[in-house]
Amino acid sequence: MLELRNVTKVFNPSTFNELVLYRQLDLKVESGEFVTIIGSNGSGKSTLFNIICGSLLPDAGDILVDGNSILKLPEFQRAKRFARIFQDPQLGSSPSLTILENLAIAENKNRRFGLGKAIDDKKIDHFITLLKEFDLGLEEKLNVKINNLSGGQRQALALLMVTMGNPSLLLLDEHTAALDPKTSEKIANLTNRIVKDNNLTALMITHNLRQAIELGDRLLMFHKGKIVLDLNGEAKKSLTVRGLIDKFNSLNMTDELSDAMVFS
Ligand SMILES: Nc1ncnc2c1ncn2[C@@H]1O[C@H](COP(=O)(O)OP(=O)(O)OP(=O)(O)O)[C@@H](O)[C@H]1O
Ligand SMILES: [Mg+2]
C-alpha cells in the first residue's frame, strides 16, 4: 500500500548543523497492516510522518501509494487520503465548535457540498450510537464545545472523526502520550478496535513499549534514522518490554563504542 524507496533526508545541508537523518531508507507497509513504531528522541519517527504527509520533501528517493509516486502531490491533496493525529489533543478537532458540529464536518470532509442539511435527527442518532461504543460519556455531550472536553475525550473524538473520512492511511504520532495512564490505555484499546474494525492501514508512534508490543501486527524500532528492528507475526508476539529495553541499551552502547573508536 505504502512504500518508501531509497529515501534520503538531510537537514541544514552544507552547514555546521548538517544532519543526514535518513540514508536510503526503505519501508513497505501492506494494506491493512497496523505498525507500531518506537525509537529514542530524535531517531526520525515524526519526520517519517512529515515526509509521508508532504510537509517535508525527501532529498532523494520516492514515496509510493499503491505503486504510484505521490511525491508531486501537495500536502493538502495528501491530507484527503491520509489522516494524522498528534500528541496534542488540541489539534484533532475545532475547539470552538461542539462535538456534533465537529462530527458533521468530519462526515462531510470528502464530499462536494457543504454542511447544508448535514445535521438531521437520523444523523444525530447515528453519531450517538458511535459515541456510545466509546464508553466515555461523549454521547451526552453532543452540544458541548470541544474546549470543555478532557484530553482523552478529545483524542477519542479525533479517532472517530478521522475514521469517518475513510482514510487510506492513519498516522498516529504519540497520540496517547499526553494522557494519564488509565486514559492512555483506554485510547490505545480504542485505537486498536477502530483500526481493526475498519481494516485501516495504520502507523502508530509511541514511547509506551507495552502498547507497542500489545497493539498492531508489526513493530519497527528507529535509531538514528535507521530501522534497526522490524518484527511481525510470532517474533512480535514473543517480544517483552525487558527485551526491547535491552535492545535500546545495546544500541546506545554500540554508539558509545564506535564514538570511542573514532576519537581515540
Ligand atoms: N525541519 C527540521 N529542520 C531541522 N532538523 C529537523 C527538522 N525536523 C526534524 N529535525 C531533526 O531530525 C531529527 C529527527 O527528528 P524527529 O522529530 O523525526 O524525531 P522523533 O523520532 O520523532 O523524536 P521524538 O521521540 O522526540 O518525537 C532530530 O534530530 C530533529 O532535530
Ligand atoms: Mg516525534
- 203, part of any domain: yes
Averaged confidence pLDDT in the chain: 88
The predicted model gives 118-138 an average pLDDT of 83
The predicted model gives 65-69 an average pLDDT of 95
User: Any idea what the CATH number is for the domain that residue 195 is in?
Assistant: 3.40.50.300
93 within 8 A of 146, measured Cβ to Cβ: yes
Our answer on whether the CB atom of 9 is closer than 6 Å to any ligand 1 atom is no
Q: State the pLDDT confidence band at 220, using cuts at 50, 70 and 90.
A: very high
Q: So what's the pLDDT on residue 264?
A: 36
Reported as a single tens digit per residue, the pLDDT across 47-58 is 999 999 999 999
- 156, part of any domain: no
Residue 17 has pLDDT above 50, yes or no: yes
Our answer on whether the CB atom of 39 is closer than 6 Å to any ligand 1 atom is yes
107 within 8 A of 163, measured Cβ to Cβ: no
Residue 215 has pLDDT above 80, yes or no: yes
> In the numeric block, which cell numbers belong to residue 81?
487520503
Residue 109 has pLDDT above 80, yes or no: no
Domain housing 18: 2-90+167-263
Q: So what's the pLDDT on residue 145?
A: 93
Q: So what's the pLDDT on residue 73?
A: 95
Q: So what's the pLDDT on residue 263?
A: 42
Give the single-character DSSP code of 17.
Answer: T
Reported as a single tens digit per residue, the pLDDT across 145-199 is 999 998 888 888 998 888 888 899 999 999 999 888 888 898 899 899 999 999 9
- 97, part of any domain: no
- 32, part of any domain: yes
- 143, part of any domain: no
Ligand 2 centroid from CA 81, angstroms: 21
* Ligand 1, atom 30, residue with closest C-alpha: 42
Our answer on whether the CB atom of 44 is closer than 6 Å to any ligand 1 atom is yes
The predicted model gives 71-77 an average pLDDT of 94
Our answer on whether the CB atom of 32 is closer than 6 Å to any ligand 1 atom is no
Residue 105 has pLDDT above 50, yes or no: yes
Q: So what's the pLDDT on residue 143?
A: 93
- Number of structural domains (the chain) is 1
Cell 484533532 identifies what position?
Answer: 92
The predicted model gives 51-74 an average pLDDT of 96
Q: So what's the pLDDT on residue 254?
A: 64
The predicted model gives 210-223 an average pLDDT of 95
- 49, part of any domain: yes
Question: Hey, which bits of the chain come out as E strands?
Answer: 2-11, 19-29, 34-39, 60-65, 68-69, 82-85, 169-173, 202-205, 218-223, 226-232
Residue 46 has pLDDT above 80, yes or no: yes
- 234, part of any domain: yes
- Residue 180's φ and ψ, nearest 5 degrees, are -65, 160
Question: Hey, which bits of 70-129 come out as E strands?
Answer: 82-85
- 122, part of any domain: no
Ligand 2 centroid from CA 42, angstroms: 7
Q: So what's the pLDDT on residue 262?
A: 45
Our answer on whether the CB atom of 225 is closer than 6 Å to any ligand 1 atom is no
Q: So what's the pLDDT on residue 253?
A: 63
57 within 8 A of 4, measured Cβ to Cβ: no
Q: State the pLDDT confidence band at 15, using cuts at 50, 70 and 90.
A: very high
Mutate to test the pocket of ligand 1, among 18, 45, 206 (most ligand atoms within 8 A of CB): 45
Cell 502531490 identifies what position?
Answer: 73
